[in-house]
Amino acid sequence: MEDWTGTLVKMASTQDKSLYVLLYRHFAPKVKAYITRLGVSEATADELTQETMLNMWRKAHLFDPAKAAASTWLFTLARNQSIDWMRRQKYPEYSLDRMEKSLEEASDPDTAEKHVSSYRMTQVINQLPENQAQVIYMSFFEGRSHAEIADRLMIPLGSVKSRIRLAVEKLKLTLRGEA
Partner 1 sequence: MKINHHLDESTLVSYVAGSLSQGMALVVATHISLCEKCRESVIETEAIGGALLEQMDSSEISDTSLETILSQLDEEPIAEPEKGVTDQSDGLVPPPLRSYIGESLDSINWRRLAPGFAYVDIFTEGAGVCRLLKVSPGKSILPHGHRGSELTLLLRGSFSDEIGRFAQGDIADLDDQVEHQPLVDKDQGCICLVATDSPLRFTTLLGKLLQPVTGF
Looking at the Cβ atoms of 10 and 30, the one nearer to partner 1 is 30
- Side chain identity, residue 158: G
Residues 91-110, interacting with partner 1 (CB under 8 A)? 91-100, 103
Looking at the Cβ atoms of 18 and 108, the one nearer to partner 1 is 18
**Is residue 140 within the footprint of partner 1 (CB under 8 A)?**
yes
**Is residue 13 within the footprint of partner 1 (CB under 8 A)?**
no
* Minimum gap (Å) between residue 9 Cβ and partner 1: 15
Residues 158-177, interacting with partner 1 (CB under 8 A)? 158, 160-162, 164-165, 168-169, 171-172, 175-176
Helix H segments across the chain? 4-14, 17-37, 42-59, 70-86, 97-104, 111-127, 130-142, 146-153, 157-175
- Side chain identity, residue 131: N
**Cα torsion 139, 143, 146, 147: sign:** negative
